[in-house]
Amino acid sequence: MKKVLITGGAGFIGRHLADHLVRHGDYRVTVLDNESLGDRRHLDLDAVRFIKGDLRDREQLRAALTGQDAVVHLAADTRVMDSIEDPANNFENNVVGTFNLLELCRELGVPRVVAASTGGAILGDVPPPVHEEMAPRPTSPYGASKLMLEGYLSAYSAAFGVSGCALRFSNIYGPRSFHKGSVVAHFFKQILADQPLVVYGDGSQTRDYLFVGDLVAGITDAVESDAEGAYQLGSGHGTTINQLLDAMRSVTGLDLDVRYEDFRAGEVRDTWCRIEKARAGFGFDPATPLEDGLRTTWRWFTTAGR
Ligand code: UDP
């Protein structure tokens, strides 16, 4: 049985990953989370060990890491605007936190680290499809923190034999995302509250929407592989907001109240990614069509709801 620690595991993605690993049966899962955004009550505490702790506290981290076979490192402050307002805080959370984690992996002999990264914030506004060979050019402290994570993973692999890879997540949606501000969760909440959906621009902007079930299957495959370096994880194609709205009309059966406003200043217009490297590296195979994923997500919003 493989022992896996998930940092930040009480959040949206971590909860899905913990369930996925436990259901596969061969994993003993520990979640480390400071509960700043996540909440342990969302975990199946009969199946998962929970430790409240922060990556900036080395002793808490040491206790959580001791005896682990692998770490999935999801804990991070992911809010771009917050990182611009308070870069030092982002640095402490993301850069110092990741450094502490890797140092302790080296010291304790934890052999494998798979960490969450991002394409968008590392690469800036570049023509899609986004891929791993593009030169990094972060435009926010958050993006810089993820580039540093990728740098340290590479260094700890090469210098100390801590095998690691960085997974650059696209726009992830799915059940249990009620607290998220990303567009799918936001639109579903607006619909439930009988509020209009505001589109920034004419709705032609594209994003790469990946169903959380496909993401956690990919993370698991990455843990099991010895892949190193950066990998884009997305659906592999772009979807416009107007296409997303059509799919939402179809799954909700509702005539949505949509209003169009100006494009948001500074926002990337089009971004979607190439996923061939992850396919070749560890068999990443996102299979859920957008409409199926949205149907599952909408069902959760209208039944469980939180
Ligand atoms: N978006 C929108 N209305 C909203 C929220 C988002 O039109 O109320 C658009 C936004 O302009 C972007 C896309 O939805 O093109 C995805 O936004 P999200 O915040 O999920 O992700 P990000 O922009 O960070 O990729």
DSSP string for residues in 20-52: HHHHHSSEEEEEEE--SS--GGGS-TTTSEEEE
**56 and 179 fall within a common domain:** no
Please name the residue whose Cα sits nearest to atom 10 of ligand 1: 200
Please check whether residue 205 is in contact with residue 270, taking contact to mean a CB–CB distance below 8 angstroms.
yes
**89 and 198 fall within a common domain:** no
CB under 6 Å to ligand 1: residues?
120, 171, 182-183, 186, 198-200, 205, 207, 241, 264, 267
Position 268 scores a pLDDT of 85
**188 and 49 fall within a common domain:** no
**131 and 201 fall within a common domain:** no
**115 and 33 fall within a common domain:** yes
**197 and 225 fall within a common domain:** no
pTM, entire model = 0.97
Number of domains, the chain: 2
Q: What angle do CA 92, 101, 133 make, to 5 degrees?
A: 85
Residue with tokens 């800036």: 124
Q: Which atom of ligand 1 is nearest to the CA of 187?
A: 8
Position 305 scores a pLDDT of 66
Q: Which contacts qualify for 83-90: CB closer than 8 Å, 24 or more apart?
A: 83/140, 83/141, 83/142, 83/145, 84/140, 84/141, 84/142, 87/141, 90/141, 90/142, 90/145
Separation in Å, CA 72 to CA 101, 185, 235: 11, 24, 21
Please name the residue whose Cα sits nearest to atom 16 of ligand 1: 183
**151 and 196 fall within a common domain:** no
Condensed to tens digits (0 to 9), the pLDDT of residues 100-134 reads 999 999 999 999 999 999 988 899 889 999 999 99
d(CA 68, CA 112): 9
**264 and 131 fall within a common domain:** no
Q: Write the single-letter amino acid at 198.
A: V
**46 and 62 fall within a common domain:** yes
Q: Which atom of ligand 1 is nearest to the CA of 184?
A: 20
Distance 107 CA to ligand 1 centre (A): 41
**164 and 244 fall within a common domain:** no
**48 and 82 fall within a common domain:** yes
**68 and 95 fall within a common domain:** yes
Condensed to tens digits (0 to 9), the pLDDT of residues 172-183 reads 999 999 988 899
Q: 10 Å Cβ neighbour count for 118? A: 24
d(CA 134, CA 56): 31
**CATH number (domain holding residue 297):** 3.90.25.10
The verdict on whether 142 is a catalytic residue reads: yes
- Domain holding 245, by residue range, is 175-207+238-271+291-303
d(CA 241, CA 204): 6
190 has pLDDT over 80 = yes
Position 149 scores a pLDDT of 98
